[in-house]
Amino acid sequence: MLADRALRFAAIDGTQLVRDAQQTHGLSRVATAALGRQLLMTSVIATLCKNATDTVTTVLAGNGPSGNLVCVGRSGGAVKGYATNPDVELPLRADAKLDVRGYVGTSGKLTLIRDLGLKEPYVGMCNLISGEIAEDFAQYFTASEQQPSIVYLGVHENAADGFVTGAGGLLIQTMPNCPDEAIERVMAIADRIPTLGTRLADGEALNDILHDLFRDLDATYTDTYTPAFSCDCSRERLERALISIGRKELTELIEQDGKAELTCQFCGKSYQFDRAALESLLAEATDNGGTDEQ
Ligand SMILES: [Zn+2]
């Protein structure tokens, strides 16, 4: 909390998390920066969920060469994600920075899905305004959730080999009835916030950086999380997916292929189903499965 609890914040050092995502998907340098920023933000949003089983899915669908960028965060800060086109590389911008906007695109949608265990998930959406991701999330919170927010996301990589030297993010949001004076106090330190990424890349600890950034803001620290890039896929989950395609499709699959191999988009793990396994799933499937046919 900041400024006598008038605002709340969540900050993340996701350096290792972004390295793991880069390695899992063979991300290009620009894809590492883009998906990395989104993974950081998705993890931060997920830690603000109330219940342990809540999840947050974010989808960036821009008009750039990235295709869709999809991330899913769980309440403890664990996050998974993928890009449709992970190996697209773009030339550096004129200022020698990675061209995240060129990769994501400058028009399209940002969708945020909160699954709180209710019958229907909560789905919010806004148009992309920047393609640099942090500005897009700030716009989303303000326009779609009526929650004025400051968002910083930074992924630092070695120019030569793309090694991630530091990746950090920060979200600051007003609490109800936040006085203008508290907002002014936070805005007064806004130009310090972008130092978070460079200081993480220099090896400073997140706690030390925050204590320094917020030194004038009466910061209190209420929770600590350990974020990670990790997938929660399982054979059981894919069995349910196969059952849901219905008897007709499953029967065709067994007769034509006699086996199935499913690969998790989020982590690349593949699952094999032989004829006997598919037949036992067929016994559980219903006639209409995922189709409208009766
Ligand atoms: Zn997986």
Range of the domain at 270: 235-284
Could you report the per-residue pLDDT of 233-283, keeping only the tens digit for each?
Answer: 999 999 998 999 889 999 999 999 999 999 999 999 999 999 999 999 999
Query: Is residue 144 located within the same domain as residue 221?
Result: yes
Tokens of 67: 């295709």
Q: How far is the CA of 238 from the centre of ligand 1 (A)?
A: 10
Question: What per-residue confidence (pLDDT) applies to 293?
Answer: 40
Query: Is residue 241 located within the same domain as residue 262?
Result: yes
Domain boundary among 214, 229, 244: 229
Residue 291 lies in a domain: no
pLDDT classification of 285: cutoffs 50, 70, 90:
confident
Q: How far is the CA of 270 from the centre of ligand 1 (A)?
A: 8
Q: How far is the CA of 228 from the centre of ligand 1 (A)?
A: 14
Query: Is residue 72 located within the same domain as residue 196?
Result: yes
Residue 74 pLDDT > 60, yes or no? Answer: yes
Give the Cα separation of 57 and 46 in Å (integer). 9
Q: How far is the CA of 110 from the centre of ligand 1 (A)?
A: 23
Residue 292 lies in a domain: no
Question: What per-residue confidence (pLDDT) applies to 287?
Answer: 72
Q: How far is the CA of 264 from the centre of ligand 1 (A)?
A: 5
Query: Is residue 273 located within the same domain as residue 178?
Result: no
Q: How far is the CA of 184 from the centre of ligand 1 (A)?
A: 44
How many CB atoms are located within 10 Å of the residue 220 CB? 11
Query: Is residue 120 located within the same domain as residue 246?
Result: no
Q: Taking CA 227 as the corner, what is the angle to CA 223 and CA 268, rounded to the nearest 5 degrees?
A: 155
pLDDT classification of 289: cutoffs 50, 70, 90:
low
Q: How far is the CA of 234 from the centre of ligand 1 (A)?
A: 7
Q: How far is the CA of 187 from the centre of ligand 1 (A)?
A: 40
Query: Is residue 134 located within the same domain as residue 260?
Result: no
Query: Is residue 134 located within the same domain as residue 240?
Result: no
Query: Is residue 150 located within the same domain as residue 246?
Result: no
Could you report the per-residue pLDDT of 157-183, keeping only the tens digit for each?
Answer: 998 899 999 999 999 999 999 999 999
Q: How far is the CA of 45 from the centre of ligand 1 (A)?
A: 21
Query: Is residue 143 located within the same domain as residue 64?
Result: yes
Taking alpha carbons only, the member of 104, 28, 44, 36 closest to residue 225 is: 44
CB of 242 closer than 8 Å to CB of 282: no
Amino acid at 277: A
Query: Is residue 194 located within the same domain as residue 277?
Result: no
Q: How far is the CA of 98 from the centre of ligand 1 (A)?
A: 28
Mean of per-residue pLDDT scores for the chain: 94
Percent of the chain with pLDDT over 90: 93
Tokens of 159: 């120019």
Residue 24 pLDDT > 70, yes or no? Answer: yes
Domains contained in the chain, number: 2
CATH of the domain at 154: 3.55.30.10
Q: How far is the CA of 73 from the centre of ligand 1 (A)?
A: 13
**Range among 15-19, 119-123, 160-164 rated most confident:** 15-19
Tokens of 185: 């106090």
